[in-house]
Structure 1
Amino acid sequence: MIWRDLIKLVKLRLTFLVVFSASISFLIGSQVPSEHNPLGVINWLNWAKLIIGGFLITGAANGFNEIIEKDLDRLMTRTADRPLPAGRMTNGQALVLSLLMGIFGTYLLGSLNLLTGFLSVFAIILYAFAYTPLKQKSPISVFVGAIPGALPPLIGYVAAYPKIDDIALILFGIQFIWQFPHFWAIAWVLDDDYKLAGFRLLPTGRRDRMSAVVAFIFTLVLVPVSLLPTFYHHGGYFVGGVSLVFSLVFLYQAFMLMRNLDIKSAKTLMFGSFLYLPVVQLMFLFDFIGK
């Protein structure tokens, strides 16, 4: 039971996706020759530090989020059984666990280089103390939350190659733009539940055509953004072709939501987003390694 509550506190599935994204970017960054790694060799010990540190940092951010939203989580069906609103864990226990995870995670990531540690702390602060309280106030919270949400690939990259270059910005940009259709699809599906807690997450605050149009526009923007690795010659036509195909499929799913305005189409877009990002990131990695 304790382990089950801990898993819910750190939001294990979300944390896994974050760590996966960071680890793929670390492997990409490891292929870029640098002063400390002229041959582009993967340091597997540092990779393990990134995974453990990234897991702890993300778990800490989620823990702080759940402490702040405990009373709101109690109002929503999908979150009512989390350990804090259900009363199986106190705020003090969750705070101690989150602080320990945050401190140890920051230490591990900071031991890779200072930039990685700084970005990790920035991600926690922005997610827990800016995005979280904004969710009840304005749909602008999605834009604020997209910044820490897009930092994992940037953190993973600079953990291996300690500079923010054009590759790092491309990895950040793809995940940043992807988050909008991804999150708005989830918000469309769960809008009734979110409203119980007063969350305003859809662009207009409602399941209407304008919200669907805005989601479609951001999905459309993702098409050229996904081609940036090929455009800047960091990836070949293989990653460009795969990214284009998946981006067009993703765009079609967003179009169907715009046309139908129903939960079924939103679910299709949501599941499409779960597939889109890891495929594009993995193709970028495989193409980069094969250069």
Structure 2
Amino acid sequence: MSGATIEKGGAQAPLDASSGADFSEVRDWITLLKPRVMTLVVFTGIVGLLVAPAPIHPVLGVAAILCIAVAAGAAGAINMWYDRDIDALMRRTARRPIPSGRIAPNAALGYGLTLSFASVAVMGLATNWVAAGWLAFSIFFYVVIYTMWLKRRTPQNIVIGGAAGAFPPVIGWAAATGDVSLVPLILFAIVFMWTPPHFWALSLWAHGDYARAKVPMLPVTHGARETRRQVLLYTIALIPVTLAPWFVGFSGLAYAAAAAILGAVFLWHAVRVVREAQDEAGRSLLNDAAARATFKYSLYYLFALFAALAVDRLWIA
């Protein structure tokens, strides 16, 4: 409250609320970087760097991971700048810093562009320009290909656009080795195939937001029943891709067993999504409980899968 006071040396002194306001503003700038999304992106980048066959100095490795994190956040900030109109229409995003008016759009754009250029430049100087080139392309893909082109035009937006989130293990590998070979492309394929069932599980219970914003996500354009079917089909297709590191001899049986078990649980969740009680249009009668559980599991799934690969390569193989 503006009139609040505290005792200080026997006199009344007004409370200073500036520190709280400053923290709130800092929090808004951090929010622009989409830190929750960044966490999993950075982790897959770390694993790509760790399992690469060439050693990298720890300081340069930390620099590379920071560059991946900053670049992911920069792309997120530009995404929020471009999507501020539809963010304002969706309950999940209406309180973001730009649509709520706490950060000016041009300031957010400048912030994202500055961080983008800085992350690519530092990556090139600290590691190599192959990694920097992949990093720059990942930012371009997320901002231009996904956000500006695909997201508002096609229900396949998350399928093609999912490539944006699949680049970090490739970038981490390139930072350590200076090149890109079959294995990092397999890691790319794993994240690429994981993205549709992960995101469509979310879109099943957030379809109202997308409908209001006229974003052509699959549940909006093809209905809930088809979305459920696609979640199952992509999960089935994902499992053999996750076993590819073992097929090509890059990982051992420990990783293969972990991938098979994790995949079986993912498949069980996907089957529950398909079989959940629905109305005639395929909409859940149980508040999309199965879809929510599948979305949550998918986050743990990717983390555990990449962790298993790192453990297999670094401590077991």
Distance between the aligned counterparts of 1:43 and 1:251, measured in 2?
39
Equivalent position of 1:273 in the other structure:
298
The amino acid of 2:310's aligned partner reads L
Give the structure 2 partner of residue 130 of structure 1: 145
CA distance in 2, matches of 1:269, 1:206: 20
Provide the rounded CA distance (Å) in 2 between the counterparts of 1:109 and 1:219. Answer: 34
Q: What's the counterpart of residue 157 of structure 1?
A: 173
**1:54-109 deviations in whole A, cap 9, x for unaligned?**
12111111111111111111111111111110111111211221121111111122
Q: Any gaps of 5 or more consecutive residues in structure 1?
A: 34-40
Q: Deviations over 1:164-209 (max 9, x none)?
A: 1121111111111111110111111211112111112226724422
Of 132, 135, 148, 1:117 maps to 132
TM-score by length of 1: 0.93
Residue 188 of structure 2: aligned partner: 172
Of 50, 72, 83, the residue aligned with 1:27 is 50
Amino acid at match of 1:201: M
Give the aligned CA root-mean-square deviation in angstroms: 1.4
Alignment of 1:156-235 (within 5 A): 156-202=172-218, 205-235=221-251
Q: What is the distance in 2 between the residues matched to 1:127 and 1:170? A: 20
C-alpha distance in 1, partners of 2:217/2:173? 30
SS in 2 for 1:279: helix
Separation in 2, partners of 1:223, 1:86: 41
- When residues 173 and 203 of structure 1 are mapped into structure 2, their CA distance, relative to the original with a 3 A threshold, is farther
Tell me if structure 2 keeps the 8 A contact 1:57–1:101.
yes
Tell me the CA shift for residue 140 of structure 1: 1.7
User: Closer, same or farther in 2 for the Cα pair 1:20/1:253, shift >3 Å?
Assistant: same
Question: 3-state SS of the aligned residue for 2:167?
Answer: helix
Contact 1:203–1:214 (CA under 8 A) maintained in structure 2: no
**Contact 1:187 1:201 (8 Å CA) reproduced:** yes
Name the % identity.
31
User: Quick one: distance in 2 between partners of 1:92 and 1:66?
Assistant: 11
Structure 2 gaps of 5+ residues are 1-23, 279-283
Q: Which amino acid aligns with 1:266?
A: A
2:74 touches 2:111 (CA, 8 Å); kept in 1? yes
Query: Bigger radius of gyration, 1 or 2?
Result: 2
Q: CA deviation at 1:42?
A: 4.1
- How far apart, in 1, do the equivalents of 2:142 and 2:211 lie? 20
Partner-residue secondary structure (3-state), 2:218: coil
**Cα deviation per residue 1:117-137 (whole Å; 9 max; x = unaligned)?**
111111111111121132222
TM-score (norm 2): 0.86
Q: Secondary structure at the match of 2:221?
A: coil
Q: Single out whichever of 196-205 and 162-171 deviates more from structure 2.
A: 196-205
Distance 2:64 2:169 in 1: 11
Q: Which residue of 2 aligns with 1:283?
A: 308
Counterpart residue type for residue 229 of structure 2: V
1:6-17 maps to which residues of 2 (within 5 A)? 6-17=29-40
Q: Give the AA of the match of 1:10.
A: L
Counterpart CA distance in 1 for 2:313 and 2:219 is: 36
Task: Determine if the alignment matches structure 1 residue 45 to structure 2 residue 68.
Answer: no
Q: 2:123–2:131: 8 Å Cα contact kept in structure 1?
A: yes
Measured in 1, the distance between the counterparts of 2:217 and 2:176 equals 35
Distance 1:17 1:6 in 2: 20
Amino acid at match of 1:130: I
1:65 is the counterpart of 2:79: yes
Residues in 2 aligned to 1:193 and 1:209: alpha-carbon distance in whole angstroms = 18
> Which residue number corresponds to residue 102 of structure 1?
116
Q: Residue 65 of structure 2 contacts residue 172 of structure 2 at CA under 8 Å; is this kept in 1?
A: no
